[in-house]
A and B are shown apart, each in its own frame.
Chain A
Amino acid sequence: MILIISKNNEVTTTAVIKELIAMNKQFIRIHEDEVFDINTIKKRIVLTSHRNQFFLDEVSAVWYRRGAIEFNRMRYQNQSIDRYMFEVQHWLVEYVLKSLEGKKHINKQSNSHVNKLLVLEKAKEVGLDVPGYFLAEDMEDVIVNQTIVKPISGTPIIDDIKEQHNGIMYTSVIEQKSESDFFISFFQDKIEKDFEIRSFYLNKKIYSTAIISQNDEKTRIDHRRYNSEIPNRNVPYKLPAEVEHKIDLLMHSLDLNCGSLDFIKSADKFYFLEINAIGQFLGMSNACNYGLEREIAAYL
C-alpha cells in the first residue's frame, strides 16, 4: 500500500492518483487536516485518524508531496509525568516517521525544504556552474544593472503583510543603489541568458524542458520580431551528460530523489540556480509529453 502525504486538492497529487488507480495500486492519501493516533493491534503498530486507518508495516512506499503527517499528543496533569510522556511520545513519533522514510519513497518530510544557501555551496562542490553570489547588508559591492536580489527563504510569499494582503517577492535586478543598510540579503550576478531550463529529477532520471521566452533575445537565439502576448515555448531538452551527472551527485548529497532544478543557459554554460523539491511540474510535463505523473505512479 502506498502512503501519500499531501495537501487537500493539490492538483499534482490528484493526477498521480488517477494513474495509480489505472495501475491498480492501493494507496492512502493523507490530508492536511488529519491527525493520527499511534496504537497497536496484535503487536503491530496501527495509525488511525478520523478518515484513515492502516498498519505501519502495510506501507510499501511513501510519496511525500506537501504538508506533513501529524500526530496527537497526550497531555498529563502531573507536570513531571507530562514532561516524561512528552519524551516517550517524541521517540514513538520519531520511530514512526523514520520507519516511513526508510521505505521506498519519493522525497521525505524531513528534508524536502532545502536551504538555498547550502544547496548553492553543494552545487559548486559537485562542479556545477553557479552565478557568483554574496550576502550583504548594504549595496557597496552591488554593480547596478548587473546584480539581482533574491529571497533567501524557500517560499517567496509573505502572508498578511498588510491587512487582507499577502506579499510576494520576486527576483529583481538592482537598478539603483540604496544608501541605507538593510537586513542581510542575497545578491547574485545577473547572467545574460539564451533561455532557461527546468529539469525534473526522479530517481536518477532527468527530464528537462527548455523554456523559451521572447525576452531571451541573444545572439544564438534569433526570434526576430515578437509579440508580448505570445506565451513561452516549453520544449523537450537534453542537458549534456556531464551536467546530468553533476545533478545526480547534487541530489545525492542533499538526500533528495525527486525535485525540479532551474538552470540558465548562457552560451556554452549551464548555470544552476535552485532546487525545488515540491514544486509543480505538470505544466512542463504536459508541454513535453513526458507523462511524469505516470512515472511517479510507476515508481511508487
Chain B
Amino acid sequence: MFDLSNRLLVAHKTIQTTDEITMRFFNLYSDIFITKGYNRILISDLGRNSSKLYPLELYELIAELKSTSIDRVLENYEPESKIIVQEYIDYLLEREYGFITKEDWDRNFSPLSYEYQDYQPISNLFIEVEKLTISETLIQSIANLGIKHLAVFCRSAASLQELISFDNAFENTPLEGMEITSAYTTELTKDSFALLQRQSQRIYHLQFYQCQEIPLLSNTESRFTLDFTKDTLAINSCGKVNVADFNTNMPKVLEAINHNSCLHKKLGIDVAGNIKNCPALPQSFGNIHEMTLEQVLRQGAIQQYWDMTKEEIMVCKDCEFRNVCTDCRAFTERSHTNKLGYDISKPLKCGYDPYSNEWSDWSLNPLKQQAIAYYGFKPLNGKK
C-alpha cells in the first residue's frame, strides 16, 4: 500500500474556513518514535516494541497533523491525494499510533522524556583470554563496578572444570550473567553439560568453535543455550550489522538516541591485558596487570566514544534504522574522523545503503576492500 512515494499533490487553492463544522485533530501517542532516513522513515512503537518502515511522505503528513486539524490538512490536497491522505490517517488509527479528538488536540497527553537513565557505571565487560581463568583483582573490580554482564572469548579449549570454576569465581558478586565463547574439546560430553548445568549459576550462553561433531543439541529446559560451529572463530567475528539483530525496546532506543549503542558503558580487555572500549579496538587505556578498571575509568579517556550517537556517524546519520541498529566502532570503513580525531565512519560490516535502500553483502563491496584489507579479514569472511 505504501510503495509509491510522493503521490501527494498539494492543491493550490485558498483555504476556506471551516469553523462551522467541528474540526477533528490527530493525536500521535508519545511513545511512537519516528526516525527519518534519506528515503524512508522507521516508525518505532516503543510501547509495543515493534518498528515498521514507511515512505517519507507519511513523515510530512504526521508533521502537518501536529500543527493542523485533519480537516484543514485534507483541504490542502487535490481530490485524488485526499483519498490517500485519508487512507494514511485510517492506517495510523488502525495501528493505534494515535487517536482523534474534536475541537483541539488533547493537550494533557504529555511528551515522553527521551532521557536515558541507568544507574550502573558499567553495563558490560568483554574480555579475551588465552585460558579460561580470571584474577582476584579483576573479580574485585567487577564487583566494585557492579558489572552485571560478562562476555568472554577464550582462545583455547576450556575444560569442564575450568568452566565450573570460572562461573563459581563470581560467587558474592553482582554479576548476573555470562556468555562464554571457547574452542571445543571432545572431553566435553553430554554428561559434562549436565554437570555444568547443576554446578554453574551465571552462564546463560555457551558457544564452541572448532567443533567437528556436535555432542548435543541445546534443549529448552537448560539454563544456558549452546551453539557449536566447525569454524575457527576469532574476536573480529563480531560487529556484523543485521536486520535480524535490530530490536525495538525503549531502553535500547533511548540509549541509541543519547549514546553510542556499541560502546556506551562497556569495557573490554584484550588477551594481552590491554584495557579498551572493546577488545577488538586498537587503542588501549592501560593494562590490567598494572592498573585496575576503576583507575582507567577515573582517567576519563576511555569514555570518549560513549556519547557518539549515530547522528554523528557518516551514512548512518541518514539511515532510518539508526536508532534500532547496533553500532560497531572496532571495524569501520575508516573513511572519516571528526575534529577530535575520533572515527566517525560507518560500520564496516553493514551491507545497508540508506540512499538506495538496498542490502548487499558488505564483504563483497568494492568500496570496502581497502578497509577489509586493513583489518586483515579474508575476502570471504562476511559470507553466511
- By a beta-carbon cutoff of 8 Å, the part of chain A in contact with chain B is 18-19, 21-22, 210, 212, 214, 219-226, 230-231, 233-240, 286-291, 294
Q: Does B16 contact A (CB under 8 A)?
A: no
Find chain B residues with CB under 8 A from A288 CB.
112-113
- Contacts A19-B119, A294-B119: A233 and B29 contacting too (C-beta < 8 A)? yes
- Contacts A223-B99, A233-B31, A235-B47: A22 and B93 contacting too (C-beta < 8 A)? no
Q: Is the CB of A221 within 8 A of B99?
A: yes
Q: Is the CB of A223 within 8 A of B120?
A: no
Q: How far is the CA of A226 from the CA of B115 in the complex (A)?
A: 31
Q: How far is the CA of A260 from the CA of B100 in the complex (A)?
A: 28
Q: Is the CB of A235 within 8 A of B108?
A: no
Which residue of chain B has its CB nearest to the CB of A234? B47
Q: Does B90 contact A (CB under 8 A)?
A: yes
Find chain B residues with CB under 8 A from A21 CB.
119, 146
Find chain A residues with CB under 8 A from B115 CB.
289, 291
Which residue of chain A has its CB nearest to the CB of B31? A235
Which of A230, A231, A235 touches B29 (beta carbons < 8 Å)? A235
Q: How far is the CB of A225 from chain B (nearest CB, A)?
A: 6
Q: How far is the CB of A12 from chain B (nearest CB, A)?
A: 14
20 more A-B residue pairs beyond the given contacts A222-B100, A224-B90, A289-B114, with a C-beta to C-beta distance below 8 A? A21-B146, A210-B108, A219-B102, A220-B99, A220-B106, A221-B99, A222-B99, A223-B96, A230-B48, A230-B96, A233-B29, A235-B31, A235-B47, A236-B109, A236-B112, A236-B113, A237-B109, A238-B108, A287-B31, A289-B117
Find chain A residues with CB under 8 A from B110 CB.
236-238
Q: How far is the CA of A240 from the CA of B30 in the complex (A)?
A: 18
Which of A18, A22, A221, A289 touches B112 (beta carbons < 8 Å)? A289
Which residue of chain B has its CB nearest to the CB of A15? B119
Interface readout for B90-127 with A: 1 if CB under 8 Å, 0 if not? Answer: 10011010011110001011111111010111000000
Find chain A residues with CB under 8 A from B100 CB.
220-222
Q: How far is the CB of A229 from chain B (nearest CB, A)?
A: 11
Q: How far is the CA of A212 from the CA of B110 in the complex (A)?
A: 14
- Contacts A224-B90, A287-B47, A289-B115: A237 and B108 contacting too (C-beta < 8 A)? yes
- By a beta-carbon cutoff of 8 Å, the part of chain B in contact with chain A is 29-31, 47-48, 90, 93-94, 96, 99-102, 106, 108-115, 117, 119-121, 146, 250, 254
Q: How far is the CB of B70 from chain A (nearest CB, A)?
A: 11
Q: How far is the CB of B106 from chain A (nearest CB, A)?
A: 8
Find chain B residues with CB under 8 A from A234 CB.
47
Q: How far is the CB of B46 from chain A (nearest CB, A)?
A: 9
Q: How far is the CA of A227 from the CA of B29 in the complex (A)?
A: 18
Q: Is the CB of A233 within 8 A of B47?
A: yes
Q: How far is the CB of A218 from chain B (nearest CB, A)?
A: 10
Which of B30, B93, B99, B146 touches A236 (beta carbons < 8 Å)? B30
Which residue of chain B has its CB nearest to the CB of A195? B99
User: Which 8 A-B pairs have CB atoms at the shortest separation, nearest pair first?
Assistant: A22-B119, A236-B110, A222-B100, A224-B93, A238-B110, A289-B113, A221-B99, A233-B47
Which residue of chain B has its CB nearest to the CB of A23? B119
Q: How far is the CB of A81 from chain B (nearest CB, A)?
A: 46
Which of B112, B119, B121 touches A235 (beta carbons < 8 Å)? B112
Find chain A residues with CB under 8 A from B102 CB.
219-220
Q: How far is the CA of A223 from the CA of B96 in the complex (A)?
A: 6
28 A-B interface contacts by CB (under 8 A): A21-B119, A21-B146, A22-B146, A210-B109, A212-B29, A212-B99, A220-B101, A220-B102, A221-B100, A222-B99, A222-B100, A231-B47, A233-B96, A234-B47, A235-B112, A236-B110, A236-B111, A237-B108, A237-B110, A238-B108, A239-B108, A289-B112, A289-B115, A289-B117, A289-B250, A291-B117, A294-B117, A294-B119
Find chain B residues with CB under 8 A from A214 CB.
96
Report which residue of B29, B31, B106, B108 has the largest number of chain A beta carbons within 10 angstroms of its beta carbon.
B108
Q: How far is the CA of A225 from the CA of B114 in the complex (A)?
A: 30
Q: How far is the CA of A240 from the CA of B107 in the complex (A)?
A: 10
Find chain A residues with CB under 8 A from B93 CB.
222-224
Q: How far is the CA of A226 from the CA of B93 in the complex (A)?
A: 9
Q: How far is the CA of A230 from the CA of B110 in the complex (A)?
A: 22
Which residue of chain B has its CB nearest to the CB of A288? B112
Which of B108, B109, B119 touches A18 (beta carbons < 8 Å)? B119
Which residue of chain B has its CB nearest to the CB of A289? B113
Find chain B residues with CB under 8 A from A233 CB.
29, 31, 47-48, 96
